[in-house]
Amino acid sequence: MKKIKEKKNTIQKMKFIITFMDGQKFKFLVLMGVVLIYVGLSLLSPILFQFLIDNVIKQDPLNNPLMSWYSGLFGGVDLIRKNLWLGALMIISVNLLTLSLQFFRGKWNGQISEIFAEKLRNALFSHLQHLPYAYHQKSKTGDLIQRCTSDVDTVRRFIAGQFSEMLYAFAVTIIAMVVLFNVYAPLAWIAIIALPIIFIFAYVFFIKMQEFFKKSDEAEGYLSNTIQENLAGVRVVKAFNREVYEAEKFDEKNKTYKNLTYRLIELLGFYWGFSDFICLTQILVVVLFGISFAQQGFLTVGQFFIFISYEGMILWPIRNVGRILSDMGKMLVSIGRLQEVLDSPVEPLEEGITPEIQGDIVFDHVYFKYEDGEQEVLKDVSFTVKQGQTIALLGPTGSGKSSLVHLLTRLYDYQKGSITLNGTELKEIQRHHLRKNIGIVLQEPFLFSKTILENIRLANPNANERQVIEAAKAASVHRVINEFDLGYKTLVGEKGVTLSGGQKQRIAIARTIINKSPILIFDDSLSAVDTETDASIRRALKELSGGLTTFIITHRVATAQAADQIVVLQDGGVAQMGTHSELVKQEGLYARIVEIQGRMIEGEAA
């Protein structure tokens, strides 16, 4: 049962290759035809030497119809005997044709494999873009990069040469064996006695190598992820003097990868050494028996030359089948890893209705927990938001504030209850339409390695310069940008490392504002700016549009108290709800937060 399943998986992986061969299948078939012709011409060269030795020089009768036809093109045996340069011309013409076919074989192998890799990489990247947010949260970035680069390249390398190499190996073996048995069967049996041993040894080696290749590939993925994670968090590493710890962690991952790779090299070394011994022993046996048969008159010198030439042409390709099969094993492992990504269900961005979204929102007994979580993050959450209102979400860390706003953009879906936008159930609304109408400024803003202008335009590529400046002014960052030498054309560097935290945050706010969404969410994104700038941004937002519905996740009472309604979350549920003046009069979490922050301000003033 297990073997049937493995065979089925191998067939599916081969179909995977065919899928991305679209547009290249005819060229691939032509390539296989070229390989077969190349095999025929390669095997013709030894026969030509036999013809020159036995029929031209020794003047034995010519019984080979193929050589009779080919020698006729050059004037016949007698003319060639009188002009031996014609024999050289015969050999040169065959070798030139062989070389030209070898050139086209290499060229088409390269074209087919590169186009295949291009299509596969595009499909992978596009698929990753459309996978749900939850998938990326669970996946390791380094491992995904490994799959999109190293695994794709493993498949590309196999297609670039190993398919045609395998066809060459089997074709040259079969045709050469037919010729050898026609020349002299007893020596032909001796010549092929080692072939089953080499092939079985190669097959066992292929099975053995698959598991090692998979472990090595996974170890390389862990290594890539360690590098990526360390470089992304280099500020934290420096701030907490963790350089030595990170170096030791990398050393451990690197050592594991090195040991696994070294084990692969040991296995490969054993295979090549042992198979070389078998092949060279086989050639020696053929030489010894061939000399004996030639001395007894069973073989001519030319026929003996064919046996020696064909023996090498058979043994080395069959031995290389082990390498091809081991590469196939590595390729199948890589295809399996790629299929894991491509088989993951994408997020249906275009599925659903596209109603007008204005800003009226109702949470009705909403429950939510993560797929891999056991406890509910949000429990029985209910409140109503009117268009144009500003809602402040306040609560301790882990109370569910960010999870709540992520439900609005459908980065996650709630399990129970209902959320409606202007009377329409949230789950019925198309995700693409929803995210176009709900702008979100994340707690940790991400800026691309582009200019400030390009970063702000990201949400609205068609925005003109006036709109960009208007958004920057609303985010209280226009004056800061103008202080840079290149202004809006200033490159921010990777992840915005050339900017301060507050500058990055304000540019991210401008990027969201420029889209003019009817609903705007600040996911604790005003915490990186000072209180005065915070107030300035909120005033500008009110001036931009009176109908803008705003959610502000904050820990500052100063920010929350200006909101039309404050929702206090605790342990995933709504603990309190009301205006600042209402909540300060109630006993509860909000009043305690106000008291604590008031004392902190008094302490700073003192």
Residue 2 pLDDT > 50? no
* Residues 466 and 571 both lie in one domain: yes
Dig out the tokens for 163 from the structure.
């398919």
Dig out the tokens for 231 from the structure.
């470089």
In a domain, 356, yes or no: no
Q: By CB neighbour count within 10 A (0-12 exposed, 13-18 middle, 19+ buried), where does 464 fall? A: exposed
pLDDT tens for each residue of 219-228 = 887 887 788 7
* Residues 288 and 368 both lie in one domain: no
- pLDDT top residue among 65 and 451: 451
**What band does 362 get if pLDDT is binned at 50, 70 and 90?**
very high
**What band does 16 get if pLDDT is binned at 50, 70 and 90?**
confident
Nearest to 445 by CA among 435, 455, 457, 433: 455
**What band does 497 get if pLDDT is binned at 50, 70 and 90?**
low
pLDDT tens for each residue of 544-567 = 656 788 888 888 787 788 888 999
What value, to the nearest 5°, has the Cα angle with vertex 261 and ends 258 and 266? 120
- For residue 46, the domain's CATH number is 1.20.1560.10
**What whole-number distance in Å separates Cα of residue 459 and Cα of residue 450?**
14
**Mean pLDDT computed over every residue of the chain:** 82
Q: What's the predicted TM-score (pTM) here?
A: 0.72
pLDDT tens for each residue of 579-589 = 888 888 888 88
**What band does 418 get if pLDDT is binned at 50, 70 and 90?**
very high
Chosen domain end from 307, 342, 377: 342
**What band does 365 get if pLDDT is binned at 50, 70 and 90?**
very high
Residue 592 pLDDT > 70? yes
Q: What are the angstrom distances between the C-alpha of 441 and each of 125, 272, 376, 503?
A: 25, 59, 25, 13
Per-residue pLDDT, averaged over 516-539, amounts to 72
In a domain, 235, yes or no: yes
In a domain, 97, yes or no: yes
In a domain, 226, yes or no: yes
Per-residue pLDDT, averaged over 116-132, amounts to 89
Chosen domain end from 342, 373, 393: 342
Three-state secondary structure call for residue 390: strand
pLDDT of residue 542: 66
pLDDT of residue 351: 86
* Residues 121 and 215 both lie in one domain: yes
**What whole-number distance in Å separates Cα of residue 256 and Cα of residue 218?**
11
**What band does 368 get if pLDDT is binned at 50, 70 and 90?**
very high
Half-sphere exposure in the Cβ direction for 531 (13 Å, CA): 9
**SS3 labels along 203-231:** HHHHHHHHHHHHHHHHHHHHHHHHHHHHH
Token pair 């291009």 is found at: 118
8 A C-beta contact, residue 507 and residue 477: yes
In a domain, 349, yes or no: no
In a domain, 183, yes or no: yes
* Residues 40 and 110 both lie in one domain: yes
Per-residue pLDDT, averaged over 492-521, amounts to 78
In a domain, 347, yes or no: no
Per-residue pLDDT, averaged over 443-468, amounts to 83
* Residues 319 and 406 both lie in one domain: no
8 A C-beta contact, residue 420 and residue 402: no
Residue type for position 182: N
Cβ neighbours around 260 below 10 Å, total:
18
**What whole-number distance in Å separates Cα of residue 580 and Cα of residue 561?**
5
Per-residue pLDDT, averaged over 238-251, amounts to 80
Nearest to 514 by CA among 545, 490, 539, 492: 545
* Residues 570 and 488 both lie in one domain: yes
* Residues 152 and 58 both lie in one domain: yes
pLDDT tens for each residue of 179-207 = 888 888 898 898 888 888 887 887 777 67
pLDDT of residue 541: 67
Residue 4 pLDDT > 50? no
- For residue 496, the domain's CATH number is 3.40.50.300
Buried b (16+ CB within 10 A) or exposed e, 375-413: ebbbbebeeebebbbbbbbbbeeebbbbbbbbbbbbbbe
**What whole-number distance in Å separates Cα of residue 500 and Cα of residue 235?**
13
CA dihedral in degrees (462, 464, 470, 474; nearest 10)? 30
Token pair 């907490």 is found at: 240
* Residues 374 and 328 both lie in one domain: no
**What whole-number distance in Å separates Cα of residue 475 and Cα of residue 513?**
8
* Residues 143 and 286 both lie in one domain: yes
pLDDT of residue 504: 82
In a domain, 93, yes or no: yes
Per-residue pLDDT, averaged over 281-299, amounts to 87
Q: Is the dihedral of CA 326, 330, 336, 342 positive or negative?
A: negative
**What band does 534 get if pLDDT is binned at 50, 70 and 90?**
low
Q: Provide the residue range defining the domain that includes 54.
A: 2-342
8 A C-beta contact, residue 231 and residue 141: no
* Residues 379 and 337 both lie in one domain: no
How many domains does one find in the chain?
2
Residue 528 pLDDT > 60? no
* Residues 301 and 375 both lie in one domain: no
Residue 604 pLDDT > 60? no
- What are φ and ψ of residue 300, in 5° steps? -90, 170
Dig out the tokens for 23 from the structure.
């547009």
* Residues 387 and 305 both lie in one domain: no
Residue 499 pLDDT > 80? no
Rg of the chain over Cα atoms, rounded to whole angstroms, equals: 37
pLDDT tens for each residue of 133-172 = 888 878 877 778 888 888 888 888 888 878 888 888 888 8
Chosen domain end from 313, 342, 371: 342
